[in-house]
Amino acid sequence: MLHIIRLISLTLSLFIINAGTVFADSSGGFNLRAGVGYDYISQEYFLESDSIILNPDSSLNSVLLKKDYLDDKKGFLFLGYSSDPENNKNFKQKYEIGWEQTDELFRILGLARLDKKWQKSRLEGNFRLEMKENYKGDSAPGEELSILNSYLDYRYQLSNNTDFRSRVYMESVKFDTVETYIYNYSRYGIELGFGLFTNNFNSISFNSAVEIRDVPDSNQLDYTLFRGNLGYFGTVLGAYVTADFGLESRNYGQPDSRDDYLLLSLNSDTKIPLGKNYFLTAKQNVEYFNFAQNDFINDDYYLARFGIFGGRNFGQLSSFSAFFGPEIELLNIDSDYTNDDDYTEIMVTIGADYFGKKKLFFMIENKFGKRIYKNDSDYRSEFLFDRANFIGSATIIGDLNFDILLSFDLEFHENQSDNSRLYLVSGSLSYHF
């Protein structure tokens, strides 16, 4: 299950890096973006195979299995238009329509953004349409689909130190083929919030939201969600602090309250300057899931991560920093069936980031550590791990740009048959005309 969660996280990162250059051109008029890219996600794992007979005279104790979730070479072409950024009388407009094609699939993407500022208010709209089709061979379940999502933001300045924020949004996903675990759905939501700013740029924010999901082919997946967040950004005793407290309640409307839950979360990041170039950073992430009805799948649990890092800033004209420090992660599951999944992870994290002047940007992070389970079991074993992520973007010559995302998650068990490797590679070379 943890591998699937990490796979989803990596896939989202892959989407972000490929979408990041959309609307990058701030000048007005038409523009053309073309390029090539490559996306790859793969997992390798060992499976006990005493029952796997390769021939009548031999068998293996274990066999290495490999699953390629994504292995696509692609080409893409996008045509965009943006209004004159100096014209403040009308809505600022940005549009883009594009074609992306791999060996077996093609995607059509359409995007639009509208933005208008008045003296005390601002209205912003964002719309995105994606269609994905297979033109070669048989499509896998869930492979062909269309996605429409949009949001409309409105902000109003109530006073010099207070503003009101609102957003309405929707998402609709429709598959060409509906099967078990693959359902069409729509989500609708509204968010309301306030921001309070002090004279020294500290801020306190409060946001609340209501969201409804409608799944026509399975009413057991319909839900109503309520969410609230209280955040702070500013300085405390000379330290830079970012903190967020969240509360989320999801109700599926089933008679036995199955799958309903309450989620509490607290995330904070405190950066303490130490002289001119050095700093100390403390991070904490805590979440608690409380299900209305515990069962074999849904168990209440606590997940907490704490880390402290020392670092240094380098350079004046460009920003380069490096950091290093220990982290610990704890998972405790309140289960009536088993507590074999409870674990402690102890790790060391090293990382660096660089923000150049439009020419180069990268972030790199590597975590090396050990996971220790609370109890021994036949299907869980402690292991060493190495998890690394690298995101980079560079302008090579003129408007020729290169973007890359590399990520891997490796597990090293005493029993080799439990080892696992997860890889992700995504890169693109694009040119803006």
pLDDT for 273: 93
pLDDT for 207: 97
Give the residue ranges of the chain where pLDDT is below 70: 1-27, 45-69, 88, 296, 316-318, 336-339, 357-358
Query: Contact at 8 Å (CB) between 394 and 360?
Result: yes
pLDDT for 334: 85
Q: Which residues pair with 97 in a beta bridge?
A: 79, 110
User: Tokens at residue 20, please?
Assistant: 């990041």
Q: Cα 391 vs. chain centroid, distance in angstroms?
A: 13
Cα–Cα distance between 105 and 145 in angstroms, integer?
Answer: 11
User: Tokens at residue 49, please?
Assistant: 């195979």
pLDDT for 66: 63
Burial of 371 (0-12, 13-18, 19+ CB in 10 A): buried
Length of the chain: 433
For residue 210, what are the CA distances in angstroms to 154, 188, 202, 325?
Answer: 17, 8, 27, 39
Q: Which residues pair with 79 in a beta bridge?
A: 32, 97
pLDDT for 50: 41
Amino acid identity of residue 212, one-letter, is I
Asked whether the whole model's pTM tops 0.85, one would answer: no
Strands 105-117 and 420-432: unpaired
Cβ-proximal residues to 432 (8 Å cutoff; 6+ apart), any chain: 24, 25, 31, 32, 33, 399, 401
Cα–Cα distance between 200 and 234 in angstroms, integer?
Answer: 8
pLDDT for 316: 65
Query: Contact at 8 Å (CB) between 190 and 209?
Result: yes
Identify the three-state secondary structure at position 294: coil
Query: Contact at 8 Å (CB) between 247 and 263?
Result: yes
